[in-house]
Amino acid sequence: MTASLTDLTLKDARAKLRAREISSTELTQAYLDAVARYRDWNAFITETPEKALAMADASDRKLAVGEGGPMEGLPIGMKDLFCTAGTRTTAGSHILDGFTPPYESTVSGKLWAAGAVCLGKTNMDEFAMGSSNITSYRGPVASPWTKRAENKPLVPGGSSGGSAAAVAGRLCVAATGTDTGGSIRQPAAFAGICGVKPTYGRCSRFGIVAFASSLDQAGAMARTVEDCAIMLEAMAGFDPHDSTSADLPVPDWTAACAKPVRGLKIGIPKEYRVEGMDPEIDAVWQGGIDWLKAEGCEIKDISLPHTKYALPTYYIIAPAEASSNLARYDGMRYGLRVPGRNLVETYGKTRGEGFGVEVQRRVLIGTYVLSAGYYDAYYLKAQKVRRLISDDFLKAFEDVDLILTPTAPSAAFREGDKMDDPVAMYLNDVFTVPSSLAGLPAMSVPGGLNGDGLPLGLHLIGKPWDEATVFAGAAALERAADFDVVPYGLERAA
């Protein structure tokens, strides 16, 4: 009984809760049991079972009288980048030791207001900087997936690795993620789940620990496209506390999932067919193309000529903003303080011990590209290229409705692989970064398995504010892929 409860999709669980076939307390307890059982995956940094049960109880009372919001009683994981009032928030970093926010992020607040139940805070790369969840001060996350033939842990992707592992491993019905250069979509692909990053400005950034302000966007991770749509509807919307939040109504994305895709024009960018591309990735991509064609879509070859500059552009802009955003962690007001003999030494020790290697690397890169004499050559140039990349997309969208690409250039890899070469690690985001730079809505859905039995993702990019068409296309891919493989780690453990 317990296993089947945690296997329910968000939509089905919601229907059963509303029909009072199950209670939120029952469902929440099933997930709490699963969280405890798979604790060695390290998917959660902070578990909040008492809070979860209290919230579930409150939901049950509402559901009992036919009330409750669109997420009422549904237990979710909250990425530990969202500040949660009264619950420790670490951003996966040592430097936020002991930090419990007195305020709630807008997005998490909206989810609680919609009735969602908080199971805990999910693990993540430190300050969301990483593509494999290995930079977390709280330790790496093991994916519930392993290669079919072996039982060695794989990375869940990152930075929203804890959320991806928790959703794939049935530790929660859905989870929040944040995506700066692919941090929702890449782990979703690695974990065989769905993950959506909406248009920049759709979800408020207020209360989300900042990585790169012009790129950070919250999004939803769940086991189906429709589940993502339901959850994102509860997260999105204008927030006067975020100047970059868009004052636009939130469309009915759940309905959009059922919309036929016949007649949609799908762009296939030739620049994404990178040299030395894994043939299995290419095959999944071709599979996606064929499925959409079969659904009545028109496939068009397109060009996004500045694609090759996206990764270097991203790795100038994101660290530049991060170097400034992370300046506030100085050991003065909250979090870790490692005292030195004087102020400068205290800064040095606090930040030296408080930040991990990858974070330090990006702070240094960011400081460098913004410094006098280099600003024009790096930061300013990168901003110009960013505009060109954005223009590529807007031009392409004059002819097509969606763009289809693979989500990541490889399947999940082993912990330890790609670790000593940061550039190899950065290449994980090669397909997701361009749409991040352009602020476009994009989603990863499972496209199938590779030869090792590991999931691979398909990536749909939409026009600005047109998440609806992304959901429609993603739902079509989901129907065609009919992906229902349960992670082997889960099966083995069971």
Partner 1 sequence: MTYTIKGATGEWEVVCGLEVHAQVTSEAKLFSGAATVYGGAPNSQVSPIDAGMPGMLPVVNRECVAQAVRTGLGLEAEINKVSVFERKNYFYPDLPQGYQISQYQHPIVGKGEIHLDLEGGDTKTVGITRLHLEQDAGKSMHDAQDGASLIDLNRSGVALMEIVSEPDIRSPDEAVLYMRKLRTILRYLGTCDGNMEEGSLRCDANVSVRQVGEDGFRTRCEIKNVNSMRFVARAIEYEAKRQIELYEQGGDVEQETRLFDSNKGETRSMRSKEEAHDYRYFPDPDLLPVELTDDEIEGWRAGLPELPDAKKQRFIDDFGLGAYDAGVLVAERATADYFEAVAAKAEPKAAANWCINELGGLLNKAGKGIEQSPIAPDQLAALLALLKDGTLSGKLAKDVFALMFETGDDPQKIVKDRALEQVTDMSSIEPIIDQLIKDNPGQVETYKKNPKVIGWFTGQVMKATGGKANPQAVQQVLKPKLDAA
- Residues that bind partner 1 in the complex, under the rule CB under 8 A: 82-83, 89, 91, 96, 99, 101-103, 105, 205-210, 212-214, 240-244, 320-321, 323-324, 326-328, 330, 332-334, 343, 347, 367, 370-372, 375, 379
DSSP 3-state percent helix, strand, coil across the chain (nearest 5): 45, 15, 45
CA atoms of 114 and 117, how far apart (whole Å): 9
Residue whose C-alpha is closest to residue 272's, from 458, 440, 448 = 458
Catalytic residue among 23, 24, 59, 79: 79
Q: Nearer Cβ to partner 1, position 82 or 145?
A: 82
Nearest approach in angstroms of CB 176 to partner 1 is 14
Q: Nearer Cβ to partner 1, position 96 or 174?
A: 96
Residues 6+ apart with CB under 8 A from 184: 160, 177, 178, 195, 196, 197, 219, 220, 221, 444
E strand intervals along 291-421: 298-302, 402-406
CB 470 within 8 A of CB 462: yes
CA atoms of 433 and 361, how far apart (whole Å): 19
Is 159 considered catalytic here?
Answer: yes
171: how many CB neighbours lie within 10 A of its CB?
A: 32
162 SS3 class: helix
Q: Nearer Cβ to partner 1, position 276 or 341?
A: 341
Catalytic residue among 93, 132, 159, 390: 159
What DSSP string describes 77-119?
A: EEETTB-BTTB---TT-STTTT---SS--HHHHHHHHTT-EEE
E strand intervals along 198-333: 217-222, 265-269, 298-302
Q: Nearer Cβ to partner 1, position 207 or 489?
A: 207
Is 183 considered catalytic here?
Answer: yes
Catalytic residue among 105, 108, 183, 245: 183
Is 444 considered catalytic here?
Answer: no
Q: Nearer Cβ to partner 1, position 206 or 483?
A: 206
Nearest approach in angstroms of CB 418 to partner 1 is 29
Q: Which residue numbers are catalytic?
A: 79, 159, 183
